[in-house]
Amino acid sequence: MPTERGRLTIWRAFTQPAAGTLALLGFASGLPFLLVAGTLAYWLKENGIALKDITMIASAGMTYACKFLWAPLLDHAQVPGFARLGRRRGWLLFAQLCIVAGLVAMALLTPARRLPFIAATLLVAFFGATQDIAVDAYRIEIAPPDLQGALVATYVLGYRLGLLLAGAVALILADHVSWRTVYLLMALAMVVPMIATLLAREPAEVPVRTRGWSEALRFGLVDPFVDFFRRHGVATACVALAFILLFKVPEQATIGGIMGPFYRDMQFSKTEIGAITKIYGVWIGIVGAFVGGAAVARWGAWRTLGVTIVLCGCSNLGYLALITHPGHLAVLTLVISAENLTLGMLGPPTVAFLSMLVDRRHTATQYALLSSLVNLPGKLLGFFAGGIATAIGYGGYFVLTVVALIPAMALYAVLGRRLRGGGGIPAA
């Protein structure tokens, strides 16, 4: 049980002023994501757009996977006209205004005007990704590492609520009003996080002096990558990157396209799948995020990360119970409870760990790159998962994802010794 001191530590982490700000910024990050992807696909379908065109247009969300390409701009440039807010809040407000403009443009143009509509969709996707870069940089710079877990938990709460509004609520509204009205309402919902941006405190800025354009370009584009290896050492940096690529493989294995067909093959209806995995599971994930955030505040990011990696990976074995009990809602509920709880718990220590690795001179660039690497296995698994499951069966596939824990935890042990020896993580 947590001691009195431990409870005070957790209370301090969750009651810091930045926690409320991050909840609203999380909402602003979650809202546009589905509006240029899953929700958009429904609107396109109702306008008679061909399936191949729907998937191409709704792939605008892939912009988020490339955000590290322009992240250096947010580290080393001010937005003209927004400099008074500071670098982080200036970029945040600028991106939010552009998202609103893009959503309004999508609403007014409608898919009937194909090319301008696609341009507006890409605008929302680009500035949605830009906002994500700015939010991550703001979070890292506004609080020390021991308070990051709580900020991630409140961010996840806001993010999930943003997804809920842009997903389930938007679809329900579209049954009663036009899609144009739905997208205008979504644009209006961005006003609250914009107010939060204006009222938020700007993080302390790390001064950087460069002489001339060539040095500025070198510092912005080359130094973030060189610095990572220089600060940690080549060997430690390589171990860290390998660990980053591997430790979320079990988690990524169950959030791709394979799960829908799996649930259907296990004899569950679409209503049952939606209610348990999309609604109930979301709230369990939010609970998990707060548990993970409290654990980071109490025991630190590194120790919490090791425990939650194992818990999250082993929860995949629960899917074997579904294979032996197809169609049982109670079993599905238990499996989704374990999966989403541990998945939510893994989020705060993951983000706190990645935040610990970045240099504040290159916060946006380095964090955008590391977070992209964390999600890379998910993209690869989404491509090959169907073939693997076809070859060895669903059961073999889920067991394989758990086996992936072995190299990940071996790297965890090696990296822990290296970072602790170099002062990168606390000894506790």
Q: Is the pLDDT of residue 43 over 80?
A: yes
- Of the chain, the percentage scoring pLDDT greater than 70 comes to 86
* Single pTM value for the model: 0.75
Backbone dihedral angles phi then psi of residue 323, each to the nearest 5 degrees:
-65, -35
Numbered ranges of CATH 1.20.1250.20 in the chain: 1-206, 213-428
pLDDT confidence tier of residue 234, bands split at 50, 70 and 90: confident
- Summarised one tens digit per residue, pLDDT across range 5-37 is 555 556 666 666 778 889 999 999 999 988 887
Topology of the domain comprising 213-428: Growth Hormone; Chain: A; (1.20.1250)
**Lowest mean pLDDT across 316-320, 348-352, 422-426:** 422-426
Distance of alpha carbon 208 from the chain centroid: 29
DSSP per residue, 23-40: HHHHHHHHHHHHHTTHHH
Neighbours of 423 (CB within 10 A): 8
Neighbours of 131 (CB within 10 A): 27
Pick the CATH number of 1-206 from 3.30.1330.30, 3.40.640.10, 1.20.1250.20, 1.25.40.10: 1.20.1250.20
Q: Residue 412: which of 397, 425, 399 has the closest Cα?
A: 425
The total number of residues shown for the chain amounts to 428
pLDDT confidence tier of residue 418, bands split at 50, 70 and 90: confident
Q: For residue 67, give the DSSP letter.
A: G
Query: What is the pLDDT, as a whole number, of residue 58?
Result: 66
The pair of structure tokens assigned to 46 is 């109702």
Can you tell me the distance from the alpha carbon of 93 to that of 96, in angstroms, rounded to the nearest whole number?
5
Query: What is the pLDDT, as a whole number, of residue 427?
Result: 39
- Summarised one tens digit per residue, pLDDT across range 114-131 is 889 989 999 999 999 999
Q: Is the pLDDT of residue 111 over 50?
A: yes
- Summarised one tens digit per residue, pLDDT across range 328-381 is 999 999 999 999 999 889 988 888 888 888 877 777 777 888 887 887 776 677
